[in-house]
Structure 1
Amino acid sequence: MTTERWPTELRLAKDRRSLRVVFDDGTAFDLPAEYLRVTSPSAEVQGHSPAERKTVPGKKDVEIVGVEPVGNYAVKLVFDDLHDSGIYGWNYLYELGAHYEEKWQAYLAELAAKGLSRERLR
């Protein structure tokens, strides 16, 4: 049985580079926009199976330009690169916060292994 997480606060930073999420158990996370973008739950990023998951480069300077509610179970984040197809459920946001360090390090390792960069291509 999984515990349903409920946010009590969602706050976009003034610089649009992070989203603060506070949950009803008192846990709070400041999730960087880049991290949220590269871990988007969208099919574009995650694919339709683990083998189809994409490593998304070039998002170091991405910003969140919109936070739109989806019912009472999630939010859709809109990024300045026009990505807007990920629906971030409350449990997924909690998981991203709780496992930030390991997920971020895995992402950086994937970039390095594939010869990709966090920097936007010019």
Structure 2
Amino acid sequence: MTAPQPTEIRLKRAERVLEISFSDGTHFALPAEYLRIESPSAEVQGHSPEQRQLVAGKRAVGITSLEPNGHYAIRITFDDGHNTGIYSWDYLHRLGREYDYRWAAYLKAIDAASLAR
């Protein structure tokens, strides 16, 4: 089975949201903060699960630009200067599907570390 492909991508800068629709009929509104803290970059993900970094203080982060990366991904540039993650269509689809779980886990980790969003 082929992974869902995006049919529409819309950046809503004022709302700090990336809206993305996929060929399987799913549609997600992904907040910039969520995309930033889940960046696929080595800076955030590390090179193993044990190296994953908890990113805090990104509540007000915005997206300044989106850049196509071949036919399989986009590079997102955030207004805090972060731009090293390549977001594949599969990864963006997974982030949308797993939003509730991932966001709850993030909030719990931030709280446990006594950090601010």
Q: TM-score normalized by structure 1? A: 0.93
Alpha carbons 2:56, 2:116 under 8 Å: kept:
yes
Give the RMSD, CA atoms, in angstroms: 1.0
SS in 2 for 1:34: helix
How many angstroms does 1:102 deviate by? 0.5
Pick 1 or 2: higher relative contact order, CA cutoff 8 A, min separation 6.
1
Alpha carbons 2:13, 2:63 under 8 Å: kept:
no
Question: Does the alignment pair 1:69 with 2:83?
Answer: no
Bigger mean CA offset, 8-17 vs 19-28? 8-17
SS in 1 for 2:10: strand
Alignment of 1:24-63 (within 5 A): 24-63=23-62
Gaps spanning 5+ residues in structure 2: where? none
Question: Does the alignment pair 1:112 with 2:86?
Answer: no
Gaps spanning 5+ residues in structure 1: where? none
C-alpha distance in structure 1 between counterparts of 2:24 and 2:111, whole Å = 36
Letter paired with 2:85: G
SS in 1 for 2:53: coil
Alpha carbons 1:16, 1:65 under 8 Å: kept:
no
Alpha carbons 2:13, 2:64 under 8 Å: kept:
no
Match of residue 18 from structure 1: 17
Match of residue 4 from structure 2: 5
Letter paired with 1:80: D
SS in 1 for 2:50: helix
SS in 1 for 2:55: coil
Number of residue-to-residue matches in the alignment: 117
